[in-house]
Amino acid sequence: MAVLAIIGGTGLTQLEGLSLREAVSVDTPYGAPSADILRGDFGGREVLFLARHGHPHRIPPHQVNYRANLWALKQAGAQAVVAVNAVGGIHRAMGSGHLCVPHDLIDYTWGRAATFFEGELEHVTHIDFSYPYDEALRQQLIAALRAEGCDFSSHGVYAATQGPRLETVAEIARLERDGADIVGMTGMPEAALARELELPYACLALVVNPAAGKSSGVITMAEIEQALADGMGKVKAVLQRVLAQA
């Protein structure tokens, strides 16, 4: 299997069970990544791990240096990327604790450094982004989820919003009309930058709360933290199985 990089989101700032070989500090043309890249063994294979929000968890979604993160992973030897994302559930199937391997996304973010192709270019470059997630890598995640007996969806549309605030009821209603099933704040430009670097990329999303208006009460951080605590064990088991099955 290609050297897999795991980008850990909220709730996954450390990869428990990683047998650490080294912490790699990578200088990039785009500044510093969120944290050192941890190289080690996980699930019997070499992996790279990067905490998207830093360690400790301190960088909000709109201030993550996505370009530095992806560039650093590529420089460290990553050949494929699995991103772990905590999300809100829009579709009725996406209850707290549900796992989703999205097949498509809609980008609602703004003002983020979203491409490597800018500045003093020799020519304008456009990437094909029709299908933002690598299908082979998606299928590996799906097979692992099935083998683990998880409650999951093999398809879904990820809405990437700006954050760091959560969305309004009206905004979620709009996202639902647009066809979104889950909502998060870090799916873009991460996926597009991986494509620009020709890194196969897939997302493993853990639903940690119903989106605004999808439950009778307000969304509390206590509920989100509990869902993260309950769900990240499943996420780690799935990642280990992906590596073992490769």
Rounded CA-CA distance 17/116 in Å is 34
Rounded CA-CA distance 147/109 in Å is 35
- Tell me the two tokens of residue 225: 């933290």
Residue 210 annotated in ligand binding: yes
Residue 221 annotated in ligand binding: no
Residue 62 annotated in ligand binding: no
Residue 209 annotated in ligand binding: yes
Whether the CB-CB separation of 193 and 199 falls below 8 Å is answered with: no
Omega of the bond leading into 164 within 30 degrees of 0 (cis): yes
Residue 52 annotated in ligand binding: yes
Whether the CB-CB separation of 197 and 116 falls below 8 Å is answered with: yes
Tell the burial category of 154 from Cβ atoms under 10 Å away from its Cβ (0-12, 13-18, 19+).
middle
Instruction: Give backbone dihedrals phi and psi of 227, rounded to 5 degrees, phi first.
Output: -65, -40
Residue 185 annotated in ligand binding: yes
Instruction: Give CA angle at 83 (79, 84), nearest 5°.
Output: 150
Residue 53 annotated in ligand binding: yes
Residue 123 annotated in ligand binding: no
- Report CA 230 to chain centroid distance, whole Å: 18
Annotation: binding site for phosphate: 10, 52-53, 186
The annotated binding site for substrate is made up of 185, 209-211
Residues of each annotated binding site? 10, 52-53, 185-186, 209-211
